[in-house]
Amino acid sequence: MKIGMAGAGLSCAVIARELAENGHEIRIYEKRNHIAGNCHTERDTESGVMVHIYGPHIFHTDDDEVWAYVNRFAEFKPYVNRVKATTKGQVYSLPINLHTINQFFGKTFSPAEAQAFIEQQADLSITEPQSFEEQALRFVGKDLYEAFFKGYTQKQWGVSPTELPASILKRLPVRFNYNDNYFFHRHQGMPAEGYTKMIAGILDHPNITVVLGESFSRDMLEQFDHVFYSGPVDGFYNYELGRLPYRTLDFVRSEAEGDVQGTAVMNYCDESVPYTRITEHKHFAPWESHDRSVCYTEYSRACGENDIPYYPVHLVQGDTVLEQYSAKAKAEPKVSFVGRLGTYRYMDMDVTIRAAMDTGRAWLAAYAR
Ligand code: UDP
């Protein structure tokens, strides 16, 4: 079959590979002049630092098949994400762990003491937290919420944490030990030569053609037996029902000699600081050594018409426009909407790969019937 695809990011790359290995012909249109979507990495020619051009991506998963898959296409190096946070004039460790709690409250608690203490702080009258704020007040209490989450979340999402769903905070654990690994998954690492090389490997198949610098448009539909679309679902319909809200990011790049902040990720949780975090990219590759450094200062704002959409904004109250677009998308006979933009979901890379594998296989199974 002749298959068209929109977008050469992780989703379409994985689906293309599944289908190509089963004899189908794939043509991918990518409007940017590079593959890999927002995972794109490029080595800075001057410093030699591998730069995560659209912001940092750290690979972590509990899915053994996904881990085997990425290791098939790239050499992974060990990397453990340890995030620091500056708030109220001090530096702490994230996710909130025993060190954070002891430092923040000036205590020397054991795990059991810390747990009992945090339970006193927690608002137990909230039995079924709906919003981000309720989730935080229920599980860490007012002081930690206001220091670490309230300001950062307001800056990141542009709305009050009372309007955001609890699911956003559920991404972050609270630990009553000194484990400061940001993720709890069994597998974690970084591709030694970056994500773009890994995705190039996935796309490297004689049945896959990638056309760079060209957008997929709906009038191309008739050229293909089926289309996988990883662009924004509202864009596919020319925004006829309005625009779905996204947050975009501005990265202010800076270069310097030496070690700028001593760590890969420093969050800035105070609302008075206009940016959310600073990332120092050479620390994402601790197996390398570079004299110079490249940093990104990250600002979040509402996504306008000509901006890159990063985070879909889901509110507690739901979104009827999204429901309408989803219904239209579901009814498309020849198009499957995939990935973060196609399905309007906040997806980690491992979830994206899993979803893409499942989509590709379901399509193959349906086609074979
Ligand atoms: N968050 C926060 N303070 C922090 C880090 C995270 O309030 O210092 C909140 C914020 O709302 C963020 C969410 O937790 O959007 C998820 O954090 P994560 O680090 O997973 O965000 P990502 O790296 O995916 O942007």
Q: Is 131 buried (19+), middle (13-18) or exposed (0-12) by CB count in 10 A?
A: buried
Do 234 and 341 fall into the same domain?
yes
Is 296 within a domain? no
Residues 6+ apart with CB under 8 A from 286: 79
Residues 201 and 341 in one domain: yes
pLDDT for the residue numbered 292? 98
Q: Which pTM value belongs to this model? A: 0.96
81 lines ligand 1 (CB under 6 A): no
- Cis amide linkage into residue 206, ω under 30° from 0: no
Looking at the chain, how many residues does it have? 369
Query: Would residue 282 count as lying in a domain?
Result: no
Same domain, yes or no: 41 and 100: no
Task: Supply the pLDDT for residue 262.
Answer: 98
Does residue 8 sit in the same domain as residue 155?
no
Are 161 and 227 in the same domain? no
Angle subtended by helix axes 10-20 and 349-368, to nearest 10: 30
The reply to whether 357 and 210 lie within a common domain is yes
Q: Is residue 180 assigned to a domain?
A: no
Indicate whether 160 belongs to any domain: yes
Residues 133-149 pLDDT 10s: 999 999 999 999 999 99
**pLDDT for 358 beyond 80:** yes
Predicted pLDDT at 317: 87
User: Residue 368: which pLDDT band, with cuts at 50, 70 and 90?
Assistant: confident
Residue to probe by mutation, ligand 1, list 94, 100, 152, 300, most atoms within 8 Å of CB: 152
Mean pLDDT of 337-363: 97
| Least trusted range by pLDDT, from 33-42, 141-150, 310-319 | 310-319
Which tokens go with 358?
């499942």
Which residues span the domain enclosing 73? 2-51+65-79+192-244+315-366
Q: What is the mean pLDDT of residues 234-249?
A: 96
The residue nearest atom 9 of ligand 1, judged by CA position, is 153
For 85, the enclosing helix (H) or strand (E) is strand 83-87
270: CB partners within 8 A, 6+ apart? 86, 87, 88, 151
Q: Verify that 103 and 236 share a domain, yes or no.
A: no
Is 125 found in the same domain as 69?
no
The enclosing domain of 359 has a CATH number of 3.40.50.720
> Do 125 and 154 belong to one domain?
yes
Q: Ligand 1 test: best mutation among 57, 84, 149, most atoms within 8 Å of CB?
A: 149
If one counts the domains in the chain, the total is 2
For residues 10-27, give the mean pLDDT. Answer: 98
Banded model confidence at residue 273, pLDDT cuts 50, 70, 90: very high
What does the alpha-carbon distance between residue 160 and residue 168 come to, in Å, rounded to a whole number?
A: 13
Instruction: For residues 368 and 31, give the distance between their C-alpha atoms in angstroms, rounded to a whole number.
Output: 31
State percent of the chain over pLDDT 90: 97
3-state SS class at 117: helix
What pLDDT digit, counting tens, does each position of 280-289 carry? 999 999 999 9
Q: Residue 97 in contact with residue 175, Cβ under 8 Å?
A: yes
Burial letters 150-181, b for 16+ CB under 10 A, else e = bbbbebbbebebeebbbebbeebebbbeeebb
Token pair of 314 as six digits: 């889901």
Please report which confidence band the pLDDT of residue 269 belongs to, taking 50, 70 and 90 as the band edges. Answer: very high
* CA of 153, closest atom in ligand 1: 11
Report if residue 291 sits inside a domain: no
- How is residue 180 annotated by DSSP? -
One domain, residues 352 and 322: yes
Would residue 6 count as lying in a domain?
yes
Assess whether 328 and 224 both reside in one domain: yes
Q: Are both 128 and 46 inside the same structural domain?
A: no
- pLDDT range class, residue 171, cuts 50, 70, 90: confident
Mean pLDDT score of the chain, rounded to an integer? Answer: 97
